[in-house]
């Protein structure tokens, strides 16, 4: 099972469990929690959530899923930009800890750049680390220029990961952000790796899947894992879906597969604005 190594030296699985759209009124929180627990059973021990998801509902689903299993989990959550002042970041973190019924978050991210100075947010992250409320921190939806800005902030080089939208149809990050990340040993966490299911009717994807005897979704997930330093965090709210995702962790695409997918989903030929969902 492929892993990634954070700049601090800690190794974590290269596949995680996403929770976007969990904990919402139209959902089934009990079933969602069971799916997350099943993922833990299968060795997918990274759970990614955020205060934004379900207005805190996803974090409550996580609490149900990890009850009695906290030591098995590498827990990721995020602070919204409009909460990311110095004091606001600390307050938001404490609320997330309460909703998830835990004492510490393993990796706490700024959800996207906002109006507050990065120095204030990073300062709050460092205070949370000193107080034992988070172990590590990172960012989300930062492009290469924004990562360079972060690098100039005192303590900014302690960032552990950048979570961005990355899948076969959203390859703009390959032009400059992925090279920057490789040069700076900064892992990427790919969210929405299936483009919310919109990728799965593609004929090239189906052809590659047929050759391997797997599903198009499994090919799309394996594609995000083809390079070192990239983690993928698909959401799965059902038990069979989690099992299917887990199988993609072991799938290795060959050069012919990758070439066929490149023809169907061409890599970028110039700089693009960072895509965000």
Tell me the three state secondary structure of residue 137: strand
What is the rounded CA–CA span in Å between residue 4 and residue 258? 21
Q: Which string of DSSP letters, residue by residue, matches 22-59?
A: TT-TTS-HHHHHHHHHHHHHTT--EEE--SSGGGGHHH
**Of residues 263, 229, 260, 233, the one with CA closest to residue 248:** 233
- CA atoms within 13 A of residue 150's CA, in its CB half-sphere: 29
Cβ-based neighbour number of residue 213 at 10 Å: 7
Among the listed residues 53, 108, 166, 191, the single catalytic one is 53
The verdict on whether 108 is a catalytic residue reads no
What is the rounded CA–CA span in Å between residue 274 and residue 166? 10
Beta bridge partners of 105: 134
Task: Indicate the burial class of 149 (C-beta count within 10 angstroms; 0-12, 13-18, 19 or more).
Answer: middle
What is the rounded CA–CA span in Å between residue 221 and residue 219? 5
Show which residues are catalytic: 53
């Amino acid at each position: 099972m492929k892993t990634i190594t954070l700049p601090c030296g800690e190794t974590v699985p290269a596949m995680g469990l996403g929770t976007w759209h969990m904990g919402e009124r139209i959902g089934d929180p009990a079933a969602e929690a069971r799916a997350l627990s099943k993922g833990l059973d299968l060795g997918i021990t990274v759970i990614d959530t955020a205060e934004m998801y379900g207005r805190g509902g996803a974090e409550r689903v996580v609490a149900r899923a990890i009850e009695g299993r906290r030591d098995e989990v590498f827990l990721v959550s995020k602070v919204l930009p409009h909460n990311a002042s110095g004091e606001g970041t600390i307050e938001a973190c404490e609320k997330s800890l309460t909703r998830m019924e835990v004492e510490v978050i393993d990796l706490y991210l700024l959800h996207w750049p906002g109006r507050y100075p990065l120095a204030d947010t990073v300062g709050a992250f460092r205070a949370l680390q000193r107080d034992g409320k988070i172990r590590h921190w990172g960012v989300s939806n930062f492009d290469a220029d924004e990562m360079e800005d972060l690098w100039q902030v005192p303590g900014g080089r302690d960032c552990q990961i950048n979570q961005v939208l990355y899948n076969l149809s959203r390859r703009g990050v390959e032009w400059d952000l992925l090279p920057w990340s490789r040069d700076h040993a900064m892992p990427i966490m790919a969210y929405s790796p299936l483009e919310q299911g919109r990728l799965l009717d593609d004929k090239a994807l189906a052809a590659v899947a047929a050759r391997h005897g797997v599903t198009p979704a499994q090919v799309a997930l394996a594609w995000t894992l083809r390079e070192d330093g990239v983690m993928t965090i698909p959401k799965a709210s059902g038990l069979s879906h989690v099992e299917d995702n887990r199988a993609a962790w072991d799938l290795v695409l060959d050069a012919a597969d990758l070439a066929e997918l490149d023809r169907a989903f061409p890599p970028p030929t110039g700089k693009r604005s960072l895509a965000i969902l």
